[in-house]
Structure 1
Amino acid sequence: MQIELSSFKERNINFLSSFLFYIIGLAFYLSSLLPFMKSLIPKNIPIQVVEQVKHLDYIIAIAALFLLMFGVIFEGFVLFLIINFLGAQIKIKTFYSLFMFSNIPVAIKFFLISFKNIFAQHPNTSLFFTSNHLIFSIFDLFNIAYLFLLFILLKWRTNLNYLTISVFIFTAFLYRMFF
């Protein structure tokens, strides 16, 4: 039984709209942490420095936003090199479009965490659990949805077989686990 999804297969996926959705979700997430930024500031910074720098919480949040934006762009570039090493022969623009579209579940996770942080009494950086344990952060439904979407999109847009794409998805999983 073959599912025919040729209209989605031929549809052009826009990089900019996916990237903006991801960045807006990330900005919502970081802005929901602003009221609690004092507890996130490292304790080894002298108190005189913390008091001298005005709006240190905003500086930290904006720096984190740009650092995380750079991180997702770098992750896309590393995964682009890996998929082309495996024989996909895909252009970087096409891969970044697929990569950012598959990151939409992660952006939705950022939105949900930010809404939870706004309405919760004790907000944190995880959605369901009270601590950010490595196992819980890797095996959440949003990262699994990201990997599944990336698998499906690469299968439809490249001529790679299932084994090669599975090796790539496992590599993407390891990248997310360690970085």
Structure 2
Amino acid sequence: MDIDALNAFKFLTGPETVLALLDERERNQQYIKRRDQKNEDIALTVGKLRVELEAAENNLIDSECHVAELEEALRDKQALLEASEKRNAKLQSENAYIRNRYKELDLLIGKNILVMQAAIIEWQATGDAKSGLAWIYNTLFGPGELPDESRKDAQAYFNRKYAPIDEKLMALHKWFWEQSEAERAAGIRIKGE
């Protein structure tokens, strides 16, 4: 060991120097302790952030799955809506057709009643039943609805032809009555009431 260096060390190391070195060492240890605490706090924060990030990623994945499910449900509902709109348009068209057929039949019945009324007026005004009958004959002849000329018993002909018509009319009247009663029971206001 170098004696000069040792003597120089002894000369420089007095109580003040040793105390100053100890103070500096204490400050350095406290700095290291604070830095270690900050590093530990940062590590905890990073850990928490990682957990939060993982939870957010899982939520995002769940949300994306939920969005995909909602989009699929929306597509299904849109397809159902389109099918319903097509069905509704078809039903509206059928409804318009039926309403116009109903109007046509109502007008034809009205026309036939008018023809029979005109026939009676003609017969009463002229006293000639044949003139009145011409109104009815012309109405039936136009669309080719004249009865077979071999028919001689008018009442028997009427009864035979009218029986199936009457049966169907009675079934319709029953259906309308049942509909009316069902609507009334359900509290549905029927048009005209």
Q: TM-score normalised to the size of structure 1?
A: 0.25
Q: Which structure shows the bigger proportion of residues in helix conformation? A: 2
Q: TM-score normalised to the size of structure 2?
A: 0.24
